[in-house]
């Protein structure tokens, strides 16, 4: 049987913008193709953000070749936690989050321990294009692991939540907070199984969420309600747009 909830007409009737229509009517229409490389490469995006004074996680190192992986010992020597991600990755694929270390072993969000050689192998996969868009050769980024506000402890499973603000022609039009789950392995990526929770643009209060295409009211792992929470420092998020709201 066809799930009518997932058909185009059912989505349209409920006022839901599907990903294909979003791409056709907004992404392609309002974004010039020549600028795509600036956002498809996370290293370039980070450089542009820093240039414009936008706060981003510190970049510890960039691994460009397999030979560079021989420097991992010195790069990670004083690092107890960090994140490794592909520069051309998408949907959260290839992201490795290390939360702590035990002697010479590194602990993932799930609690599993990795040897340095495991990390080197993961980076080698990134470089070979296993996680990149189109399978092209890639670079690996080693970054600071962002720490989150205590407010999110009850509605986030192990990983770090993040906030997405959608901007159209310079105007913020919608926002959401992405919450890691057990299914997403502590990552805040919807394609990996994280929760998307709407945020009221004016007040910064969380609304109901969606998890694996289903509307939800509570976090599936913690059992705590996701709506009705005040996002801390919301005015700072919207400082560049305060005259537009």
Q: State the distance between the two ends of the chain, measured CA to CA, in whole angstroms.
A: 44
Same domain (yes/no): 133, 210: no
The b/e string for 171-208 (b: 16+ C-beta within 10 A; e otherwise) is ebeebbbbbbbebbbbbbbbebbbbbbbbebeebebee
Q: Is residue 113 part of a domain?
A: yes
Residues 192 and 118 in one domain: no
The reported pTM is 0.77
**Pick from 143, 164, 193: which residue ends a domain?**
143
- One domain, residues 161 and 116: no
133 and 179 in a single domain? The answer is no
Is the same domain home to 234 and 155? yes
Q: Quick one: 84 and 164 in the same domain?
A: no
Last residue in a domain, options 77, 111, 143: 143
Whether residue 152 sits in one domain with residue 116:
no
Distance (Å, whole) CA 89 – CA 191: 12
Residue 6: the pLDDT is 57
User: Residue 188's pLDDT is what?
Assistant: 86
Are residues 104 and 182 both part of a single domain? no
Query: Looking at the structure, do residues 154 and 127 belong to the same domain, yes or no?
Result: no
Q: How many domains does the chain have?
A: 2
Range of the domain at 135: 56-143
Tens-digit pLDDT string for the chain (245 aa): 345 455 667 777 777 777 788 888 888 899 998 998 888 899 999 999 888 877 889 999 999 999 999 999 999 998 999 999 999 988 778 999 999 998 889 998 878 899 999 999 999 999 999 998 778 899 999 999 988 888 888 898 888 898 998 888 888 889 999 999 989 887 888 888 999 999 999 899 999 999 988 899 999 999 999 999 999 888 877 665 554 44
Same domain, 133 and 157: no
- pLDDT given at position 177: 94
Q: In this structure, are 193 and 231 located in the same domain?
A: yes
> Are residues 191 and 113 located together in one domain of the fold?
no
**Residue 61: which CATH number?**
3.30.1490
């Amino acid at each position: 049987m066809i799930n009518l909830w997932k058909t185009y007409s059912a989505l349209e009737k409920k006022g839901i913008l599907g990903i294909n229509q979003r791409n056709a009517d907004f992404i392609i229409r309002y974004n010039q193709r020549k600028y795509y490389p600036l956002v498809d490469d996370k290293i370039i995006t980070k450089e542009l953000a820093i240039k414009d004074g936008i706060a981003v996680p510190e970049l510890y190192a960039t691994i460009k070749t397999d030979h560079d992986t021989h420097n991992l010992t010195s790069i990670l020597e004083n690092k107890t936690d960090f994140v490794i991600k592909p520069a051309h990755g998408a949907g959260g694929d290839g992201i490795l989050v290390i939360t702590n270390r035990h002697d010479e072993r590194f602990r993932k969000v799930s609690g599993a321990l990795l040897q340095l050689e495991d990390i080197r192998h993961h980076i080698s996969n990134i470089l070979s294009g296993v996680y990149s868009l189109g399978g092209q050769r890639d670079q690996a980024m080693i970054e600071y692991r962002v720490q989150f506000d205590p407010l999110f402890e009850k509605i986030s499973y192990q990983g770090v939540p993040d906030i997405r603000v959608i901007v159209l022609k310079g105007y913020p039009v919608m926002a959401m907070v992405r919450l890691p789950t057990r299914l997403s392995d502590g990552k805040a990526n919807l394609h990996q199984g994280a929760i998307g929770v709407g945020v009221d643009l004016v007040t910064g209060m969380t609304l109901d969420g969606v998890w694996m295409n289903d509307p939800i009211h509570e976090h599936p792992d913690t059992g705590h309600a996701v709506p009705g929470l005040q996002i801390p420092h919301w005015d700072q998020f919207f400082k560049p747009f305060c005259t537009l709201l």
